[in-house]
Structure 1
Amino acid sequence: MAYTKQDLLQALEKLKINPRGTLLVHSSMKSIGEVEGGADTVLDALMIYMKEGLLVLPTHTWSYINAENPKFDVVHSEVCVGILPELFRKRPGVVRSLHPTHSVAAIGQDKEDFIKDNELWHTPCARQSPWGKLLDRNAQIMLLGVDLRRNTFMHGVEEWVDIKGRLTDEMEPLVVINEKGEELSVPSRRHCGDHWSEYFWKVDDYFKEKGVMHLGKFGDATVRICETQGVAALLNDMLAINPHLFSNNEPLEIERYRK
């Protein structure tokens, strides 16, 4: 039996998502199971539920925008992180930020302010970028059928406390093409490889224990709801104790971090 829009709206309510707040969604469409109307119904449910707040989806292009292929087109460059953000960015009223590798798309309250000036910052998740604004807004992050390894906000926290070895020293000469077709030079540092986030799983149980993340269901998908201010505060403490926390795949020595 396929899930309906109403089923999905009820699931969002059960997940204790603030409908007047800010919600960023990382997603796996196939994890949800069969939905009447497919991906469009999922987006409809998210947009209806968050109609009095701000809904944000990552519209990343890091997998193919690079020095050899340097031009990011805010209108035409496709998303490399799934079907839901690719469809979302094309919806009427949705705006997309001007970052060559780590853009976001948004609709709702203060959407223009949220994405503003993303092209001014030369790292993937600068504190003044939308990724930092998630913290300022005490946003929630919905990991829909994906786990902490897909939580870009955690890259941001590492960047803000300047964990060594996470970003290239050199900048790539990337270019952003805005909605007017104007080309903007946006030289950018990059993440050093993509393996650091594969170690984010280590804090899953600790996040739950400390109450900065809770689990639920959305269709067939397991969902993690992260509170950005709680996650950032906890990670700041953990990284102060051990800057190499996510530098290896060793299990978390949890007693080292408990207060």
Structure 2
Amino acid sequence: MPAGSFKAVKKGIKRRLKMLRQAFARTFRSFTPDDLLERLRQLGIVPGDVVLVHSSYDAFEGFSGKPTDVIAILQRAVGAEGTLLMPTMAFTGTAVEYVSRTPVFDVARTPSRMGLLSELFRRSPGVVRSVHPTHPVAIWGRDAEGLAADHHRAGTPCGAGTPFARLLERQGKILFLGADIDSLTFYHTIEEMLETRLPASPFTQQVYQLKSKLPDGTSVVTQTRLFEPSVSRRRNLGKLAPELRRQGAWHEARVGRLKLTLLGTSDVLAAVAAMADRGAYCYD
């Protein structure tokens, strides 16, 4: 069989298997938006919470609602007194690679590459987006403006003066919906806090001058260190999960086939610090 024909057959089989898996989930593992809300409550999300969400909508097999229903449920979960955040980075490689080919970040138009839900959330009514050329955050809720303020003035993407650091100040939570711990952007906040205790600095020596375009057409310049690619390639957050479990800080549930994980930001900091105390780090 010619190589091209074999690839086509293989692709067709994978597509068919995916369809069968989805049909099975709809029949035997289906769940509704209300089921999702109930599980979020059982997991520990209450009105007034400040929650950063990482998600993969591909994992929502059997979900009877639409992607917009997920966003609505998350907003109901934290309520009018709470705040919801989603990272909206425009790249999936390293920040250094991204800025080398992207001269200007447009806060209103540059799309999120952090999954379907993050992009829909970014475009939702009442959502503000922090101004940062590499690590912008979409935020909805009572404290949205305060969390987003002056992100472009921070000296690193996720450290002091950023929504990620303010999440910790507010005793925020981190929710994974079908995503794994490798997507934990908040870890960068801890890298800055514990930089002198790490085996190597996670940051570049170079300070980048990066431009962001605001919705009114004006521009601002951010002076920031970025994450050192050689360190980023060795980062392995799978090493953090066992420590969180040992400390009783790993909260997991399922609804249908969807896995939900909830972490407290202060618990993540404590776990990383405990690892550093004994010379263990989240790098290969």
Shared fold per TM-score greater than 0.5: yes
**Greater percentage in helix:** 2
CA distance in 2, matches of 1:68, 1:204: 34
Alignment counterpart, residue 89 of structure 1, candidates 109, 118, 122: 122
User: How far is 1:46 from its partner?
Assistant: 0.7
RMSD of aligned C-alpha atoms?
Answer: 1.7
CA distance in 2, matches of 1:212, 1:155: 19
Indicate yes or no: 2:35 matched with 1:7: yes
CA distance in 1, matches of 2:256, 2:216: 39
- The residue aligned with 1:143 is 176
- The residue aligned with 1:183 is 219
Alignment counterpart, residue 43 of structure 1, candidates 60, 71, 78: 71
Indicate yes or no: 2:128 matched with 1:100: no
User: How far is 1:54 from its partner?
Assistant: 0.6
Indicate yes or no: 2:83 matched with 1:54: yes
Deviates more, 1:33-42 or 1:153-162: 33-42
Indicate yes or no: 2:275 matched with 1:238: yes
SS at match of 2:186: helix
- The residue aligned with 2:161 is 128
CA distance in 1, matches of 2:127, 2:255: 23
Query: Which consecutive unaligned segments of at least 5 residues does structure 2 have?
Result: 1-25
Q: 1:219 to 1:196 in 2, by over 3 A?
A: farther
User: Could you tell me the TM-score, scaled by structure 2's length?
Assistant: 0.81
CA distance in 2, matches of 1:170, 1:87: 34
- The residue aligned with 1:29 is 57
CA distance in 2, matches of 1:69, 1:82: 20
- The residue aligned with 2:260 is 223
Aligned residues of 1:12 and 1:218 also touching (Cα < 8 A): no
Indicate yes or no: 2:152 matched with 1:119: yes
Deviates more, 1:71-80 or 1:152-161: 152-161
Larger radius of gyration: 2
Q: C-alpha deviations, 1:183-202, integer Å up to 9, x for none?
A: 111133221223244x1101
Q: 1:83 to 1:46 in 2, by over 3 A?
A: same
CA distance in 1, matches of 2:160, 2:43: 28
Aligned residues of 1:15 and 1:217 also touching (Cα < 8 A): no
Indicate yes or no: 2:46 matched with 1:18: yes
The amino acid of 1:50's aligned partner reads V
CA distance in 1, matches of 2:156, 2:223: 9
SS at match of 1:67: helix
User: How far is 1:23 from its partner?
Assistant: 0.6
User: How far is 1:143 from its partner?
Assistant: 1.4
Q: C-alpha deviations, 1:214-234, integer Å up to 9, x for none?
A: 111244221211111121122
The amino acid of 1:23's aligned partner reads V
CA distance in 2, matches of 1:98, 1:219: 36
SS at match of 2:36: helix
Q: C-alpha deviations, 1:163-201, integer Å up to 9, x for none?
A: 32311111233111112111111133221223244x110
Paired-residue identity, %: 30
User: How far is 1:149 from its partner?
Assistant: 0.9
User: Could you tell me the TM-score, scaled by structure 1's length?
Assistant: 0.89
Query: Which consecutive unaligned segments of at least 5 residues does structure 1 have?
Result: 249-259
Alignment counterpart, residue 105 of structure 2, candidates 58, 69, 72: 72
